[in-house]
Amino acid sequence: MTTCPSCKRDQIQSSAFCAYCGAVLDRPDTASTPSPAPAPPDSPAAGAPTAVRASRPQPQTVVHDVGDVGAYIVRRLAALTVDLALVGALIAVALRAWLTRTTADGALTPGGFVELATLVVAAFFAYRWFFEGFVGSTIGKLVFGLAVGRNGGGSAGLGRAFVRNLVLPIDLAIVGFLIAAITPQRRRLGDLLAGTVVANARIGVLAPLAGIVVLGAAAYGVNAYAGGISAAQHLARDATQYGPALIRGTSPAPSLAPTPMPTLAPTPSSEPTPSPAPSASAAPSPSPSAPPSPV
């Protein structure tokens, strides 16, 4: 309440002049009144509804289940072995049968073996890329209950799967497994660059069953339509014959079959052939001019 400085009476109404003597009243010093500090931009405004403040997305940490660490590493190595040895061999046998479909003897030339090796590498990369991008796993990973996903949750997608398998040759040179052994989520170099992680499959025990069924179907198809064991034997022979030269970077030598020697006919001799001597046991025949012996 304001007091008049002249008559010292309290003023009931808010006015610039005294209601009793008309003297000018002192106005309040508004310059010394501190102004409220502006609210920081990140803090919610005063009086904002609680629902609006609670609707902000909060960062979540995705924990990937890998089970026992030792068993997990063994399963990853075994899954890679199945993909490289079994699935890779099935791809190679099928492609060899396709390349030699027009040949009569089913043989493979040195140039054909180089073409086969190139196609096998490309087909194996495409197999892992599309399986991890669309299915989220490969046949080897399914057999051992593993799957590939995004590090923050969700499927890996074709882009991350492409980067992950593009770095696979570097990871195969022991580097990837050393990195996976020391990282918290056991991620190799390809996983770190692609933002992916390998964890237990969400379908649980159905993953190994699905992997075994798919692997068996692929083996049956190769055996039925690509020659099976016979084609695998031919492939092993070609790899033994042309593989070392291809690894050394030299041209493989062609396979040379032994040339049969021509058979020479006996030539007639110019010397006269002696007549056979008469046998001693043979009796001489009587001469017609000899006289008959007396009786």
Q: Which long-range contacts (CB under 8 A, 24 or more apart) does 25-29 make?
A: 26/2
Kindly state the tokens that stand for 214: 């798919």
* Torsion sign, CA atoms 268, 272, 277, 278: positive
267 part of a folded domain: no
Q: Which parts of the chain are beta strand (E)?
A: 146-150, 196-200
185 part of a folded domain: yes
Which one-letter amino acid corresponds to residue 295? V
* Torsion sign, CA atoms 28, 33, 36, 37: positive
Spatial contact of 201 and 147, defined as CB atoms under 8 Å apart: yes
Q: How confident is the model at residue 42 (pLDDT cuts 50, 70, 90)?
A: low
Highest mean pLDDT among 21-25, 153-157, 180-184, 252-256: 153-157
211 part of a folded domain: yes
* Total domains, the chain: 1
76 part of a folded domain: yes
pLDDT of 294: 47
Task: Provide the whole-model pTM.
Answer: 0.64
**Domain of residue 166, residue span:** 69-248
Mean pLDDT across 60-76 = 76
Kindly state the tokens that stand for 190: 């390809």
Q: How confident is the model at residue 212 (pLDDT cuts 50, 70, 90)?
A: very high
Highest mean pLDDT among 20-24, 87-91, 254-258: 87-91
DSSP-based three-state secondary structure for 161? helix
11 part of a folded domain: no
CA pair distance 238, 223, nearest whole angstrom: 19
289 part of a folded domain: no
CB count, 10 Å around CB of 191? 25
Q: How confident is the model at residue 59 (pLDDT cuts 50, 70, 90)?
A: very low
Per-residue exposure over 220-249, b if at least 16 CB sit within 10 Å of its own CB, e if not: eebbeebbeeebbebbeebeebbeeeeeee
Query: 295 has which bridge partners?
Result: none
- For residue 27, the 8-state DSSP code is P
Q: What digits encode the pLDDT tens for the residues 12-28?
A: 767 777 777 767 776 55
Highest mean pLDDT among 22-31, 51-60, 228-237: 228-237
Q: Is the pLDDT of residue 254 over 60?
A: no
Q: How confident is the model at residue 209 (pLDDT cuts 50, 70, 90)?
A: very high
Task: Calculate the average pLDDT of the chain.
Answer: 78
24 part of a folded domain: no
Which one-letter amino acid corresponds to residue 187? R
15 part of a folded domain: no
Q: What digits encode the pLDDT tens for the residues 113-161?
A: 899 999 999 999 999 999 999 999 999 999 999 999 998 888 899 999 9
